[in-house]
Amino acid sequence: MKIYDLIILGAGPAGITAAVYAARKKMDFLVLSLDMGGQTAWSGDIENYTGYQFITGPELTSKFEEHAKAFSAPINIPEEARDIKKENDLIKVITDKNEYVSKTVIIATGKRPRMLNVPGEKEFKNKGVTYCATCDAPLFKGKKVAVIGGGNSALDAASQLTKISPKIYMINIAAQLTGDPVMVENVEKSNNIEVLNNSKVKAISGDKFVNSITIEKKGEILNLDVEGIFVEIGLMPNSEFDKITKHNDYGEIIIDNRNSTNIEGVFAAGDVTNVPEKQIIIASGEGSKACLSAFRYLLMHKWSG
């Protein structure tokens, strides 16, 4: 079986940046990922990625892909990691399609949307319930919708929907919106967004598609007529397949300042780790650090096979 210098799991900002660095270092590497761009592809307007005063998530994802292709980075999409094992000095990666062996691995699998876990959510997924406003907002043109959450993701979703939907309910379990002040201000100034704080989703209903959502607000049960529900209540790390590194209480992979995990040869980068701030530009920087650490490890380590 072929032995790679490096396998990168994930093709979001951390994984793609690691791939560009690996290509420049002439490493024999492979990228395995479910998709291109990760959470970046779901993002709306991005105004804090250095070099771009304004760019959309899909546009930045396209730039990532172009950059990787310019270096002929080998990327297998879609391919999902299912397990990772350390065998002697080598690391085996098992996916839904194949098995691979490498001297080093960078886990950059990012995060995924957290679910509400209420009646009707699973039944109406992709039938009115969605987790990506950037992807799906145009499908709800002219329809009343609900956005669940009060952080930056929810605020971004609501802002995108103001141009599409005549009425947007923001259902926030907390006492107030918790996102960046400039984003909160934009939402509060909007004429077609109604913020419902101290509110909890109880159920989602419909026929073939969603037609209402039931919430509880300060003990009162309310039924809102909506045809779309955008769930924006946070993210969970895609780390379940990794049973060899140490995770924190949130399931994030614990790394040091060189992106090393507790397992030699296994590095991690981006939102799947315990790095405190989850930002595209931070994930990109972490991807470069992880690759440089893996490269240094390759130079200094001797393999027994």
Task: Evaluate the CA torsion angle 184, 232, 174, 165 in order and state its sign.
Answer: positive
CB 107 within 8 A of CB 238: no
In the structure encoding, which two tokens stand for residue 38, read together? 């990760």
Position 191: which residue type? N
**From the CB of residue 214, how many other CB atoms can be counted at a distance below 10 Å?**
17
CB 205 within 8 A of CB 120: yes
CB 124 within 8 A of CB 228: no
Cα–Cα distance measured from residue 277 to residue 122, given in angstroms and rounded to the nearest whole number: 30
**Annotated catalytic residue within 28, 83, 96, 135:** 135
In the structure encoding, which two tokens stand for residue 243, read together? 């049973």
132 catalytic, yes or no? yes
Cα–Cα distance measured from residue 153 to residue 234, given in angstroms and rounded to the nearest whole number: 8
Specify which residues 93 forms β-bridges with: 84, 100
291 catalytic, yes or no? no
Cα–Cα distance measured from residue 69 to residue 90, given in angstroms and rounded to the nearest whole number: 28
**Annotated catalytic residue within 132, 156, 271, 291:** 132
Phi then psi for residue 50, to 5 deg, are -55, 135
In the structure encoding, which two tokens stand for residue 108, read together? 């950059």
Cα–Cα distance measured from residue 238 to residue 259, given in angstroms and rounded to the nearest whole number: 17
**Catalytic residue numbers, as ranges:** 132, 135-136
